[in-house]
Amino acid sequence: MVRIALDAMGGDFAPAEIVKGAVLASQELSVEIILVGDPQKVGQELQKYKDKGKLPVVAASEVIGMDESPAQAVKQKKDASINVAVSLVKEGKADAIVSAGNTGALMAASLFKLGRIPGIERPAIAGEFPLPAGKVILLDLGANVDCKAKHLQQFALMGSLYAKHTMHIENPRVGLLNIGEEKEKGNELTREAWPLLKELPINFIGNVESKEILQGKADVIVCDGFVGNLILKFGESLGASVFQMLKSELSKGVMNKIGLAFLLPALFRLRKKVTYDDYGGAPLLGIAGTVFKAHGRAKAPAIKNAIRETVEAVNGDMTSKLRENL
């Protein structure tokens, strides 16, 4: 059974929603979850679910805040939950880590303790965008704000392998995020990266424009971490903002209120799609170990989803597949 070290203290709704997500996951999935954090606080949360079996807790006396400087915090707070969770994997006591905490700290702790897969200079965060139909993997989402063309090349290869071995997409279509279709289009970085992606043993489909992200033109889209982070967060906010406008339009006048009553179930389904409540985890590709980042605002269902994806990555032998193919 896959063993997951779950950072119980990381994320905006920790530890309550993290523990709740762990309980959900342990009931629905074939997984052993090790909660890492303040034993008292985590224990209190676990009490709420005591009729649902026991989950082991590993003590960590410190927490790295969402806004702390990553490298410094990881070095100074040796007993932070992120550090302890990563150590469990290093020591062979767990197979993978899931954290909704400080992204930079998770990356730094993973780099220090687990290291990189040979051939990868810069591990990348690969996140899923839900599409009207299916999903797309975008990477990097913020680990590398200044990239060289060769880094984008490595992202493309890792993204393709991840899509193939964990998402089970046969011949994943990999695109380069750009502002035009032709290979001459774009900035210096993308113009240099294009031929490097072209020479990889992957299904490179060329440039993908931002308006095509949601159309499902590619399974994997590559960009630098500055751009990826901007697009990700803009997408989240725009989905929420359109929903907000909808709600405010629909609450004007009696006719709309009547109409709204009929539509509530459909609107709730839509809301799930646009506000990313069901969002899962984002793997840190290139780390010599399986590390998944859950969204900082993840609640229990999203934590459960992140755990499910992490289990799939371990079962699909993600890290070995990357190691063999790089």
Catalog residues that contact its own copies under the rule CB under 8 A. 132, 142, 145-146, 177, 179, 186-188, 190, 209-215, 224, 226-227, 229-231, 233-239, 241-246, 248-250, 252-253, 255-256, 258-263, 265-267, 269-270, 273-274
Query: Quick one: 170 or 188, whose CB is closer to its own copies?
Result: 188
Write down the least CB distance from residue 130 to its own copies, Å.
10
Write down the least CB distance from residue 261 to its own copies, Å.
7
User: For residues 138 and 232, is the Cβ–Cβ distance under 8 A?
Assistant: yes
Q: Name the residue among 83, 95, 172 with its Cα closest to residue 126.
A: 172
6 Cβ contact partners less than 8 Å away, ≥ 6 residues apart: 18, 22, 33, 34, 35, 36, 85, 97, 98, 99, 303, 307
Q: Where are the alpha helices (DSSP H) in 60-125?
A: 70-76, 81-90, 103-113
Query: Quick one: 90 or 185, whose CB is closer to its own copies?
Result: 185
Going from the C-alpha of 297 to that of each of 12, 99, 116, 206, the distances in angstroms are 5, 11, 28, 33
Write down the least CB distance from residue 241 to its own copies, Å.
5
Write down the least CB distance from residue 264 to its own copies, Å.
8
Query: Quick one: 83 or 229, whose CB is closer to its own copies?
Result: 229
Query: Quick one: 241 or 315, whose CB is closer to its own copies?
Result: 241
Write down the least CB distance from residue 262 to its own copies, Å.
3
Query: Quick one: 217 or 323, whose CB is closer to its own copies?
Result: 217
Q: Is 229 left (phi over 0), alpha (psi -120 to 50) or beta?
A: alpha
